[in-house]
Amino acid sequence: MKGLMRTKAINSDHHLTDTGLRRILGPLDLTLLGIGAVIGAGIFVLTGVAAATQAGPAIILSYVIAGLACAFAGLAYAELAAAIGGCGSAYGYSYAGFGELVAWIIGWDLILEYAVAVSAVAIGWSAYANNALQAAGLALPPTLLKGPLEGGLINLPAAAIVLILGLLLMLGVRQSVRFNATMVLVKLLAIGVFISIAFSHVDPANWSPFMPFGWSGVIGGAALVIFAYLGFDAVSTAAEEARNPQRDLPIGILASLAFCTLIYILTAGLLTGVVPYTTLNVGSPVADVVLRLGYPWGAGLVAAGAIAGLTTVMLAMYYGLTRVFLAMARDGLLPPMFARVNRRTQTPIRVIAAAGLAMAAIAGLTPIGDVAELVNIGTLAAFFLVCIGVIVLRYKHPDLPRPFRTPFSPLVPLLGAASCFFLMANLPWVTWMRFGLWMGLGLLVYFVYSYRHSTLAQTTSRPEAPSPSRG
């Protein structure tokens, strides 16, 4: 089992390699991709729930704490994305730092994270879309809004949006980023409308008491709202489609995180300043507040922004899933048929199609429910290893060119790892059980197929071949 620890050699010229993917993404594209992945239903729903049940007006501090925790992980991602690159994100970094088995576990984990996220968000998108259809007098029958396990036939809008986004991704990355940019502008316009309306209706008395639940409430709120930040890691999967990944990936990761943090803090402050925090535990607090202030057209625009937000989250997560899958297939850990990139569109069409059909089936036929919490644990596990990976690779490869370096290392990476571990430890045991079952299935697949078909396994099986780098 010595091969379990085999590591990939790090190519410092990775950004010059022709991978078959089209290098067209600049720093603005990557930043918008990050914003698209992060700002979704969280800002339109989660802020109000967390304020009402956890932190009160101090939800502002909760967002600051959560933002700092994500910033630690974001800095680690920025260093490894610039130094190692590759479309595999945390999977590729783990392959270089920890060895093949850990890389497989993280890759398998990322597949779960992105697939469940897309499926769960698609179900939420379906509800918003049906509300819009109802307003237009075109509501779908209940049997087409629920899967068989919930008494229906299929959640048609949920399955349809996944397939539509898959077709968009097949067309090419240029078309995908243009669509993402348009949707990001729509949801930022909706947020901007809310800010402009709410700004003149703030009553400072609503901020008193500022911390009705004390510091424990602030921390509890941070543990809840940190999940509104998840998704920025999808930017790192665009390494092979960025024009200058060593410069632009850190910009995209950190700029999107900083922008989203400011938006979250501003929105949270205005929500709790306009109305008493106790009234915010509703399905759509932002739209509800705008409606209460007497702006029905603004509430409609906020709803449109929520739909746009959910759409960009799905697109970014779907994109990230296909690139991680592609990277694993190129390394021989998944069937080689998924390692091919279409010459005309320069996209991994087979991966996109297979993933899309699977996620459409999940979204259309099954109730996601608490399974969506697997996104949280999967993401935090990846963040944890990336933070530790910065420290490991600084030791194993001290001379590796690092266009971006995490400041105050190893303190910042350790703070990031500790934050992620703390949040993982506080997740329900049921989530851990489901996560363990998925990992168990992954290990079975690895030892039955991936271990023997790994590209590194094929290389080391030939006596004349040089040994792979072990750092």
Which residue type does 154 have?
I
Q: Of 93, 108, 112, nearest to 443 (Cα)?
A: 108
Distance CA 36, CA 317 (A): 10
Q: Of 330, 435, 352, nearest to 443 (Cα)?
A: 435
Distance CA 140, CA 153 (A): 12
* Res 270: pLDDT: 92
* Res 1: pLDDT: 53
Do 375 and 233 form a contact (C-beta atoms < 8 A)? no
Distance CA 115, CA 124 (A): 15
Helix, strand or coil for residue 19? coil
Distance CA 131, CA 135 (A): 6
Do 384 and 109 form a contact (C-beta atoms < 8 A)? no
Distance CA 52, CA 69 (A): 22
Q: Is 191 left (phi over 0), alpha (psi -120 to 50) or beta?
A: alpha
Helix, strand or coil for residue 469? coil
What is the pTM for the complete model shown?
0.86
Distance CA 107, CA 90 (A): 7
Q: Of 116, 134, 195, nearest to 370 (Cα)?
A: 116
All structural domains of the chain, each given as residue ranges with its CATH number in brackets, are: 24-456 (1.20.1740.10)
Cα radius of gyration (the chain):
22
Which residue type does 446 have?
Y
* Res 463: pLDDT: 47
Q: Tell me the helix, strand and coil percentages in the chain, rounded to 5.
A: 75, 0, 25
Q: Which one-letter DSSP state was computed for residue 145?
A: B
Report the length, in residues, of the chain.
471
Place of tokens 């991978």: 19
Peptide bond just before 148 cis, omega within 30 deg: no
* Res 467: pLDDT: 39
Distance CA 312, CA 290 (A): 23
Distance CA 73, CA 143 (A): 43
* Res 469: pLDDT: 37
Q: Please tell me the number of Cα atoms within 13 Å of 422 on its side-chain side.
A: 15
Which residue type does 96 have?
A
Distance CA 337, CA 326 (A): 10
Q: Of 466, 443, 462, nearest to 4 (Cα)?
A: 443
Sign of CA dihedral 395, 396, 401, 405: negative
Distance CA 378, CA 424 (A): 9
Q: Per-residue pLDDT for the chain (471 aa), expressed as one digit of tens each?
A: 556 677 766 664 454 455 667 788 889 999 999 998 888 767 776 788 788 888 899 999 999 988 888 889 999 999 888 888 777 788 988 888 888 898 999 999 889 888 988 988 888 888 778 877 777 777 788 888 888 888 888 999 999 999 999 999 999 888 998 999 999 999 899 889 889 998 889 999 999 899 988 888 888 888 778 777 878 888 888 888 888 888 888 999 999 999 999 999 999 999 999 989 888 887 678 888 888 888 888 878 888 888 888 899 899 999 999 999 999 999 999 999 998 988 888 889 999 999 999 999 998 988 766 566 677 788 888 888 889 989 998 988 888 888 889 998 899 999 999 988 887 887 778 888 888 898 999 999 999 999 988 888 776 555 444 433 333
Q: From residue 456, how far is each of 97, 102, 237, 298 by CA, in Å?
A: 15, 15, 22, 57
Distance CA 67, CA 229 (A): 7
* Res 146: pLDDT: 84
